[in-house]
Structure 1
Amino acid sequence: MSKDSIQYGQLVEQALRGVVRDVLSRVAREGLPQPHHFYITFRTDHPGVGLAASLRERYPTEMTIVLQHQYWDLQVDDEAIAVTLSFNNQPQRIVIPFAALKVFADPGVEFGLQFTIEPPAEENLAETVPLLAGRDRDAPAREPAASDDAAEPADEAASGGGAQIVSLDRFRKR
């Protein structure tokens, strides 16, 4: 078999990470329309991930968060997303570089992406992520603003005591 010097797999995954970036940018600007909600699984040990020390200890390799009703201050730039979520009634700011994504799923419309190809090594060497500038990565987040949609916990995965595995098969049409 010939060597793939064009690296199609990496190009496709980079484009799909761009889809996630575009969707989250739109939600940051316009809000989250029904029935959409997102499960985002990411590598917590990836360079540039901003996570409180208590969460990093609890989820040393990966974590799944849910963006549905209770999330605050969603910010998106070219490299990462940042969002404040509640863990045990404590607001925590999380920064996730797009290169750290493993799964992005929107069960409300049966859509899901799974990322399997590691980004190039030079991409992993990033020391800072723009959304983290001026913040201590392990510092607690500021208090979130009140939300009208306070009916559901923002992080269903964390409240269960462990990382939640989301099978993309359940989102595929049969």
Structure 2
Amino acid sequence: MARSGIDYGGMMRSALQGLIADVLERVADHGLPGDHHFFITFDTREPGVEMADWLRERYAEEMTIVIQHWFDNLTVDDEGFTVTLNFGNSPEPLRIPFDALRSFVDPSVEFGLRFETHDSDDDDDDAEDGNGDGPDENPPGGGEVVQLDRWRK
């Protein structure tokens, strides 16, 4: 039975995706300031993810990229971003929709966001419910992780 009402989870996700888009646009325009760098984890199975076949084989479900020392062609649009990264001296372009994001961490300032999945995790929810109120996983650098689905019933 579908409930009508305010979709706070969806609204929060959209707002946080907008924040990440703004950050990436600034980096695309001005480069990374100071010690800032990003660990971005995404679901490689999400529609719209574009990556080399050999990367998809190696990272069949999830991949974490680092935007720090070497990246090129960073562009951002309403749906996601593209970036070229160096994998073993082989530049590879990636297209990552914002809906594919699972976490975004900037360890230089202890900032982290975690996007909980709600479609593909249905089978795992029962096994993980007992751990939901435990300590949050901390990203590198010890930043706080914000779990968007914590308040969702």
The answer to whether the 8 A contact 1:39-1:64 is kept is: yes
Mapped partners of 2:61, 2:138: distance in 1: 18
Q: Which runs of 5+ in 1 are unaligned?
A: 120-165
Instruction: Please show how residues 1-174 of structure 1 align to structure 2 within 5 Å.
Output: 3=3, 5-118=5-118, 167-168=138-139, 170-172=142-144
State percent identity of aligned pairs. Answer: 51
**Given that residues 74 and 83 in structure 1 are in contact (C-alpha distance below 8 angstroms), is that contact kept between their aligned partners in structure 2?**
yes
- Aligned-partner residue type, residue 35 of structure 2: P
CA distance in 2, matches of 1:167, 1:101: 17
**TM-score, normalised on structure 1?**
0.67
Q: In structure 2, the residue corresponding to 1:74 is in which secondary structure?
A: strand
Per-residue deviation, 1:118 = 4.5
Residue identity in the other structure for 1:115: F
Aligned positions, number: 125
The runs of at least 4 consecutive aligned structure 1 residues that moved more than 4 Å come to none
Report SS of the residue matched to 1:23. helix
Letter in structure 2 aligned against 1:40: I
Please state which structure has a larger fraction of its residues in strand: 2
| Cα distance in 2 between the residues matched to 1:75 and 1:118 | 28
Question: How far does the alpha carbon of each residue in 1:49-68 deviate from its partner, in whole angstroms, 9 at most, with x for none?
Answer: 01000000000000000000
Letter in 1 for 2:138: S
Q: Is the 8 A contact 2:107 2:139 kept in 1?
A: no
- With structure 2 as the length reference, what TM-score do the two structures score? 0.76
CA distance in 2, matches of 1:35, 1:103: 19
2:63 partner SS: strand
Task: Please give the alpha-carbon distance, in whole angstroms, between the structure 1 residues aligned to 2:76 and 2:109.
Answer: 22
2:111–2:143 CA contact under 8 A, matched in 1: yes
Counterparts of 2:22 and 2:117 in 1: how far apart (Å)?
20
Distance apart, 1:116 and its partner CA: 0.9
Calculate the aligned-residue CA RMSD, in Å: 1.9
Q: Which amino acid aligns with 1:55?
A: L
Counterpart AA for 2:75: Q
